Amino acid sequence: MISLRNLSLYGALLFLFQGLVACDAAPPPDQVKQTQQMASKQNAEPTRLVVAFGDSLYAGYQLDPKDGFAPQLQAALRKQGFAVSVLNAGVSGDTTAAGKARLNFVLDNAPQEVEMVILGLGGNDMLRGIRPEETRANITAMMDELKKRRIDVVLTGMIAAPNLGADYASKFNSIYPDLAKEYDTPLYPFFLDGVVTDSKLMLADGIHPNKQGVSKIVTGIEPVIASALKANE
């Protein structure tokens, strides 16, 4: 569960570091293209494919490739006996609109049939003050596409900074639980829960987790993913 203390600390940190959102500015087209090409050319293994589809929190910002969310989650799931590959489809700077625009490309060019997508977008929308209605509409469109393709989804949520106002927070924070209920999909309510409030688990920017922070995130979310994979067996 996300404590009120963690919520307030998270909000304060976001307020202090919103000026650093430029480090997550939308990447140039060449970077997006390169990320997509890497996804489409990855050597397929005889495993179940999970796609981690998000922004810099998923991409492994400033981390060694093996220390990001996707590789650490893959290792944790394999340790539990799941024959699974987790594809890193995170792009730094992605808003929900950018994610919606590239989702079909990633799915169509995956190295094998995609069984599950872990969907984690919206943080950059919030940092840019994009209307929650737009964020909700974009995530809904992605959920609809995944449902149409019969791909399972695990949704990971974010929380609005208090300085954006109670009305904004109410509209933004309700997006993830509402959609999880509507689409009957598992929800990990706050991707950075228990991490963003601990400086030892964060990079110097105070926004992105370090290797140890990612490890704690994986510890929290792995049972949710494992349960969803078991339900598919």
Q: How many domains does the chain have?
A: 1
Helices (H), the chain: 4-17, 29-41, 56-59, 69-79, 96-108, 123-127, 132-148, 166-173, 175-182, 211-231
Residue 32 inside a domain? The answer is no
The answer to whether the CB of 131 falls within 8 A of the CB of 170 is no
| Residues shown for the chain | 233
Residue 38 inside a domain? The answer is no
Residue 145 inside a domain? The answer is yes
pLDDT tens digit sequence for 42-76? 444 568 999 999 999 999 999 999 999 999 999 99
Q: Give the number of other Cβ atoms within 10 Å of residue 216's Cβ.
A: 16
Q: What is the pTM of this model?
A: 0.84
For position 206, what pLDDT does the model report? Answer: 87
Question: β-strand 114-120 against 152-156: which pairing, if any?
Answer: parallel
Mean pLDDT of 156-179: 96
* Cα 213 from Cα 201, distance rounded (Å): 4
Residue 86 inside a domain? The answer is yes
Q: Which residues are known to be catalytic?
A: 56, 205, 208
Residue 117 inside a domain? The answer is yes
pLDDT tens digit sequence for 19-40? 334 344 444 444 444 444 444 4
Residue 172 inside a domain? The answer is yes
* Cα 193 from Cα 1, distance rounded (Å): 8
pLDDT class of 10 with cuts at 50, 70, 90 = low
| pLDDT reading at 5 higher than 80 | no
Of 55, 54, 52, 53, the closest CA to residue 21 belongs to 55
Please tell me the least confidently modeled range out of 2-6, 46-50, 212-216.
2-6
Residue 25 inside a domain? The answer is no
For position 46, what pLDDT does the model report? Answer: 66
> Could you list the residue range(s) of the whole structural domain that residue 156 is in?
4-18+47-231
Residue 104 inside a domain? The answer is yes
The CATH number that applies at residue 181 is 3.40.50.1110
Q: What is the DSSP string of 56-88?
A: HHHHTTTS-GGGSHHHHHHHHHHHTT--EEEEE
3-state secondary structure 180-212: HHHCCCCEECCCCCCCCCCHHHECCCCCCECHH
